[in-house]
Amino acid sequence: MSEHHIVSPKIYIAIFFALMVCTLLTVYAATVDLNRYFSGLNIIVALAIATFKASLVVLFFMHGKYSPKRTQLVIICSVFWLAIMLFMTMSDYVTRLWS
Amino acid sequence: MPLYPEQASNFAPSVDALMVYITAVCLFFAVAVTAAVIFFFFKYRRKTAGEIGVPIHGDMRLEVVWLVVPMLLALTMFAGGAVVYVDFRRPPMDTLDIYVIGKQWMWKSQQPTGLKEINELHVPVGRNVKLIMASEDVIHDFSVPDFRVKMDVVPGHYNTLWFRPTKPGKYHFFCSQYCGTNHAVMGGWVTVMEPADYEAWLSGSSSADASPVDAGQKLFAEKACNTCHLPDGKGRAPSLNGVYQGKVLLADGSTVTADDAYIRESILAPNAKVVAGYQPVMPTFQGQLTEEQILALTAYVKSLQSQPVPATGAGIAPAGKK
Amino acid sequence: MSSLPAAGNQLPREHYLNATYGLRSWLLTTDHKRIALLYLISVTFFFAIGGTFAGVIRIHLLTPNGYLVTPETYNKLFTMHGVAMIFFFLIPSIPAVLGNFLIPLMIGAKDLAFPKINLLSWYIYLVGGGFVLYSFATGGLDTGWTFYTPLSSVYSNSAVTPAVLGVFINGFSSILTGLNFIVTIHTMRAPGMTWFRLPLFVWAHYATSIIFILGTPVIAITLLLAGLERMLHLGFFNPALGGDPILFQHLFWFYSHPAVYIMILPAMGVISEIIPTFARKPIFGYTFIAGSSIAIAVIGFFVWAHHMFLTGESAYAALTFSLLSYLVAIPSAVKVFNWTSTLYKGSISYDTPMLYALGFIGLFLVGGLTGLFLACLGLDIHLHDTYFVIAHFHYIMVGGAVMGYVGGIHYWWPKITGRLYPEALARVAAVTLFVGFNLTFFPQFILGYLGMPRRYHSYPPEFQVFNVMSTAGASILAIGYLLPMIYLTWSMRYGKVAGRNPWPATGLEWQTDSPPLTENFDVTPEVTWEAYDFVNRPDLGLDVKSAPSLAPAHGDD
Amino acid sequence: MASQEERRVHRTGELFGQFETMEQQRESASLGMWVFLSTEVLFFGGMFMTYTLNRSTYPDIFGEASRSINLTLGAVNTIVLIASSLTMAMSVWASQVGKKQLLTIFLILTLILGSVFLGIKGIEYHEKFVEHHVPGLNFNFEPGASVATNAHAQLFFSLYFAMTGLHALHMIVGAGLLIWLIKESLKGRFTPEYSTPVDLIGLYWHFVDIVWIFLFPLLYLIDRH
């Protein structure tokens, strides 16, 4: 842990408020019918906000931004493997009725 | 002693050809590597206790060769297999449709005339046969080695399997997906008959069963499907005339082909793929229909394929939209 | 055997086996070498159980109607054979026994990074194993090792719940082992032990650990969901509630296909150690063998749905997965070609581990090549769920993984126990295994093409001839397994003292006592040589000049 | 690798025998935790996969079922959990700069917030029980619901309980770890040189927070318009 990097409490508090704003935003976004603009927009927005929030937590609360490369590689790998599972599996279901 | 089963369907020759091709390629590599290992083993055996080998660390050109050559050969195998598989997964239009239901531990089948059989299946030679299969409990698999075909029979889904028998005779069929205690005896015989014999057999066997289409038509009224799905397209739901095998435009803009699986899904999970221009108002019928009833409804919807398609309110996409 | 340096006839005065005494000193040990031995005993136990089931299965199948056991019992036998062998023998075998013992020695560390977690993972294995044995003892398990829903979650009447829990728990043992290996390989390497000086055994275990870490949790959660469906009647895959049983298969194979590579990659690592040692020659194409291990681990995650071509999976998905399956064959082929080339101009001896290694190449070749048949979409329509599949994966798992395991045990036995086994007997056993194995499983390829489905307690009489051949082979195979168990046990007490480096080999593990100290090395070693370099190693006592001095330049990497 | 002077003798201080240096030990511990968390991602991932498929098959019923969960409680819980992540992050900071009292205070705050989360979760579960929304126990989605609606709603609630249940289980484990941390910090064990346990448990706690960040919109916020 050359990542004995000390993050200032100010940053933590700023991140906390950003997370709060995002939480309120996501609740608000769910009450608006975005699907009429584009089918599935509601869930896309909800997941985009969640991903943004998760990134803030990983990068700052968990010091991902200040971590050694191999730690960052572990993070990327876990997300990548999750994506393999989700996308490859759904690729089956989505294409079943294609002609 | 035979090394391969009888070739009794249109798929048998092509599957066997794939077998021969891949065996030949593999045999070449297996023999080459084994010969090299044995040759080196004797040629370079240790002569003195302290001897060491020549310190060769590798050769880039060789690595490239044995990366690329097997890759190209593998691609030919893939391509050959893909051609047969795509043919297998795309039944032709003019099939004789037979409904098959698997349950622990027996097979029930129903001819288009309504004639039912258990652990038996009669089909005419030279005719394209399509089995539309559902399971009442666990996953089964309908497999006929002499035809080189098999397909899982999955609860909650339709799977279809097609073949064209090429030789009259009796052929074993098996359950190939492990399904519990009597899995090994869940099988029977496919009897392939001359068309005339088949017709005679059909008419000779007296059957009190209504044909699936008739049974389906009755259900269509009983379950009040006909109150929304009006044939003239003026109902709350699209007309089903001509829908089967047609392209359906969905609310999200995509198009699907209305095959057996789509019809089934629309009965059980109607709001998963709603036709463009309609509201998701249809209730689902999951748990309220037996597999046989769903099959009958499907058969009825399919029988509407030849009915005139209304100008508006059709489930099928307008020709230009394909 | 070419015993070169005078070995002496005394074991070192102090080593990990006699450092402390008593049951407690074993059950509470954090020494990776002792934990490896604990695993050795427990996986052998499960191998014996699984092997016994296999024996009964083969005897039952001698006749078409199989009068020996009832259908229920037969179904339980093959299920329990699979569960015991796959989850409790094959998956932990090489990593938890040889990997545990050797990785710290090979990289010059005192222990794994987390010795207590290492011990914990053995206890988790025991708890998982206990649950599974409980399931076997109280009604057995008849779902097939694949636990397909809804058979397992709704319909089966056997003791599914404890078995599912057992496999679930056991998953954490694998995860912790993989975690320990990854961290150890990253942070515990001795000075000078760069990544490209690592023995290929370590590379193979690194790749295996990737699968442990990223695959095992998926089967854990999948089995947990299936278990909840059964125990608490929740609904996830249950078609009666509108769930999709095929989703279970997707999740199951997301792990269970890579799990095949968990079994075979470490065996490939063993072979990559044995061949240079007994050919006295650097391995051919080090970077390609190391890289192909990683490639197999990664691409192996993209191919799982080739187990599902006939489930009604989308034809597009089937095409994609078939193509990707062919890709994963390439790195395996690269390994075989490189091993074979390593023999070229070597100084090859016929010692037992080498016999296993060469046997491995032959059997793995058959197993791997028959995989090409099954990855072929058109051919899989016919071969899926037949004995062809059984033969194929036994060639990979028994012909490959078990040959690698037994070969590795022989190769490092002098290091583990400090003693040699009777060489002549060991060679006989190796040949017996090879012959018995082929006789057992080759006929099953033909059976499969003839169309005999798997998991059948009775079969049409036309299949009998090949079944009889298979059963005959199985009895020879059994002798091939019993022999090593007997003479290896015997040699622990009566074998000749081996000395530090009997073969001799180049790895760091051979630079310390046999058996090693608890701390592995007197002083932390410094590595100044490349992997498998016999030329610049005067300490091995070999006749360096015997190698023609002008070898091709150190060309590849 | 570390220089000769840096190497310490066996088993002195907090250095475990298998390591050569404190630096190596810290790096190993941190890497180990991250690798463990990557395992956890895939562990929860299996449930997210099941969720994705079932929701895409039954979008309407998932929406209907989602609307029956108490949004206020869910939102409050989200805020509570994120706040606990903040206090956890602050404890890591406190231990890094050697403010021992502050460390204990922040750890206790984290534990309290975590417990509040679990308490609210308990209230929610109780509500579900009263409403007959627990599959396998007393499930009856709503009066007059068709067989099929009931079945598909069970898929949603099964996932709801499995996902939030396993998440809560992780919280309980985390709370246990926090109690241990508080005990040790009261002994003054953590210093700027040795704060590994605080760092690691902090990572774990944040991870559990992240899982919730995804669970919240997926379970509570389907079609709330």
Residue C44 belongs to some domain of the structure: yes
In this structure, are A11 and A33 located in the same domain? yes
Task: State the fold for domain B212-321.
Answer: Cytochrome Bc1 Complex; Chain D, domain 2 (1.10.760)
What the block records as the tokens of D114 is: 């975590």
How many CB atoms lie under 10 A from the CB of residue B294?
23
* pLDDT tens figures, B57-104: 999 999 999 999 999 999 999 999 999 999 999 999 899 999 999 999
Contact A54 D207 (CB under 8 A): no
* Edge-to-edge strand ranges of the sheet holding B140-144: B120-124, B188-193, B169-175, B140-144, B149-153
Q: Is A96 on the interface with B (CB under 8 A)?
A: yes
In this structure, are A60 and A91 located in the same domain? no
In this structure, are A10 and A52 located in the same domain? yes
Structure confidence at residue C6 (pLDDT): 46
Structure confidence at residue D144 (pLDDT): 74
User: pTM, whole model, 2 decimals?
Assistant: 0.90
In this structure, are A49 and A79 located in the same domain? no
Nearest chain A Cα distance for residue B112, angstroms: 25
Q: What's the whole-number mean pLDDT along residues A68-82?
A: 94
Per-residue pLDDT for B321 more than 70? no
* Edge-to-edge strand ranges of the sheet holding B106-110: B116-118, B106-110, B96-103, B129-135, B159-163
SS3 sequence of chain B: CCCCCCCCECHHHHHHHHHHHHHHHHHHHHHHHHHHHHHHHHHCECCCCCCCCCCCCCCHHHHHHHHHHHHHHHHHHHHHHHHHHHHHHCCCCCCEEEEEEEECCEEEEECCCCCEEECEEEEECCCCEEEEEEECCCCEEEEEHHHCEEEEECCCCCEEEEECECCCEEEEEEECCCCCCCHHHCCEEEEEECHHHHHHHHHHCCCCCCCHHHHHHHHHHHCCHHHCECCCCCCCECECCCCCCCEEEECCCCEEECCHHHHHHHHHCCCCCCECCCCCCCCCCCCCCCHHHHHHHHHHHHHHHHCCCCCCCECECCHHHC
Structure confidence at residue C548 (pLDDT): 60
Catalogue all structural domains in chain D, each as residue range(s) with its CATH number. Answer: 44-220 (1.20.120.80)
Per-residue pLDDT for B53 more than 80? yes
Residue C16 belongs to some domain of the structure: no
Q: How would residue D197 be classed by pLDDT, with cut points 50, 70 and 90? A: very high
Domain count, chain A: 2
Residues of B in contact with A97 (CB under 8 A): 256-257, 259, 261-262, 273
Distances (CA, A) of C78 to C6, C50, C140: 50, 9, 11
Q: Which residues contact C292 (CB under 8 A, 6 or more apart)?
A: C331, C332, C334, C335
For chain B, list the contacting chains (3+ Cβ pairs, <8 Å). Answer: A, C, D
How many CB atoms lie under 10 A from the CB of residue C22?
8
Percent of chain B whose predicted confidence (pLDDT) is above 90: 52
Structure confidence at residue C299 (pLDDT): 95
In C418-527, alpha helices (H): 423-450, 464-494
Per-residue pLDDT for B122 more than 90? yes
Domain count, chain C: 1
Best of B264, B265, B271 to disrupt the D interface by mutation (most D CBs within 10 Å)? B271
Structure confidence at residue D132 (pLDDT): 87
Domain interval for residue A76: 68-99
Residues 30-89 of A with CB under 8 A from D: 30-33, 35, 42-43, 46-47, 49-50, 53-54, 57-58, 60-62, 67-68, 70-71, 74-75, 77-79, 81-82, 85-86, 89
In this structure, are A35 and A17 located in the same domain? yes
In this structure, are A40 and A86 located in the same domain? no
Q: What is the DSSP letter of C155?
A: I
Nearest chain B Cα distance for residue A27, angstroms: 25
What the block records as the tokens of D85 is: 């992540």
Residues 280-299 of C with CB under 8 A from B: 280-282, 284-288
Residue C235 belongs to some domain of the structure: yes
Give me the total of CB pairs closer than 8 Å, taking one residue from chain A and one from chain B.
17
What does chain A come to in residues? Answer: 99
Structure confidence at residue D7 (pLDDT): 40
Residues 114-133 of C with CB under 8 A from D: 114-115
How far, in Å, CA of D84 to CA of C519, rounded?
43
Contact D218 A46 (CB under 8 A): yes
Per-residue pLDDT for D153 more than 50? yes
Q: How would residue A37 be classed by pLDDT, with cut points 50, 70 and 90? A: confident
For chain A, list the contacting chains (3+ Cβ pairs, <8 Å). Answer: B, C, D
Structure confidence at residue B208 (pLDDT): 64
In this structure, are A42 and A74 located in the same domain? no
Helix (H, G, I), strand (E, B) or coil at C446: helix
* pLDDT tens figures, D156-178: 999 999 999 999 999 999 999 99
Which residue type, as a one-letter code, is found at position C309? Answer: F
Residues of A in contact with D222 (CB under 8 A): 30, 43
Q: How would residue A99 be classed by pLDDT, with cut points 50, 70 and 90? A: low
Residue C489 belongs to some domain of the structure: yes
Contact C225 D162 (CB under 8 A): yes
For chain D, list the contacting chains (3+ Cβ pairs, <8 Å). Answer: A, B, C
How far, in Å, CA of C149 to CA of D50, rounded?
14
Domain interval for residue C193: 28-542
Find, in chain D, the residue whose alpha carbon is nearest to that of C32: D18
- Going by their DSSP bridges, the two strands B129-135 and B96-103 should be labelled as parallel
Cα angle vertex D60, ends D54, D63, to 5°? Answer: 85
- CB-CB contact of D177 with D91 (8 Å): no
CATH of the domain at C79: 1.20.210.10
Residues of D in contact with C243 (CB under 8 A): 54, 155
- CB-CB contact of C213 with C175 (8 Å): yes
In this structure, are A19 and A58 located in the same domain? yes
* pLDDT tens figures, A19-35: 999 999 999 999 888 88
How far, in Å, CA of D25 to CA of D7, rounded?
12
Domain B1-40+58-209, CATH number (from 3.30.450.70, 3.40.50.10420, 2.60.40.420, 3.40.1130.10): 2.60.40.420
In this structure, are A59 and A80 located in the same domain? no
In C242-310, alpha helices (H): 245-279, 286-299
Per-residue pLDDT for B181 more than 50? yes
In this structure, are A51 and A19 located in the same domain? yes
Q: What is the DSSP letter of C398?
A: I
Question: Bigger pLDDT: B218 or C336?
Answer: C336
Backbone angles phi, psi at B123, to 5 degrees: -140, 150
In this structure, are A94 and A78 located in the same domain? yes
* pLDDT tens figures, A45-70: 999 999 999 999 999 999 999 889 99
**pLDDT values of chain C reduced to their tens digit, one per residue, 557 residues:** 444 444 467 888 899 999 888 999 999 999 999 999 999 999 999 999 999 999 999 999 999 988 899 999 999 999 999 999 999 999 999 999 999 999 999 999 999 999 999 999 999 999 999 999 999 999 899 999 999 999 999 999 899 999 999 999 999 999 999 999 999 999 999 999 999 999 999 999 999 999 999 999 999 999 999 999 999 999 999 998 889 999 999 999 999 999 999 999 999 999 999 999 999 999 999 999 999 999 999 999 999 999 999 999 999 999 999 999 999 999 999 999 999 999 999 999 999 999 999 999 999 999 999 999 999 999 999 999 999 999 999 999 999 999 999 999 999 999 999 999 999 999 999 999 999 999 999 999 999 999 999 999 999 998 999 999 999 999 999 999 999 999 999 999 999 999 999 999 999 999 999 899 999 998 989 999 999 999 888 888 888 877 765 444 444 44
Residue C351 belongs to some domain of the structure: yes
